[in-house]
Amino acid sequence: MDAPQLARYLQDENPLLLDVREPWEFEICQIDGSINIPMAHITQQLEQIREVTETVVICHHGVRSQRVIQYLQQLSIDSLINLDGGVDAWAREVDTSMPVY
């Protein structure tokens, strides 16, 4: 899902916004309401992810988030959405006041 589509989607839906970037990246910018679980810590937080019905996985440009989605799908966790272009696309196309790096 691209950034403008996600912005519209979030007007009606309330998925878990899972940001898999490193904490220092998350400190620079994040989408409101997102939680930060770095990619390397996903295995320790599987129960938290399993508890929700839908998860949008977010990273800087969409590559790490896609890898996390592939991993979670192998564990039979479904209802996953990748933010294509990551927070960089969000900052450039939805929230232009957000810092970019």
Q: What is the pLDDT of residues 3-56, one digit of tens each?
A: 999 999 999 999 999 999 999 999 999 999 999 999 999 999 999 899 898 999
| Sole residue written with tokens 């912005």 | 7
* Distance in angstroms (rounded) separating the CA atoms of residues 22 and 48: 18
Q: Give the model confidence (pLDDT) of 77-101 as tens digits.
A: 999 999 999 999 999 999 999 999 9
Total residue length of the chain: 101
Q: Which domains does the chain have, with CATH numbers?
A: 3-93 (3.40.250.10)
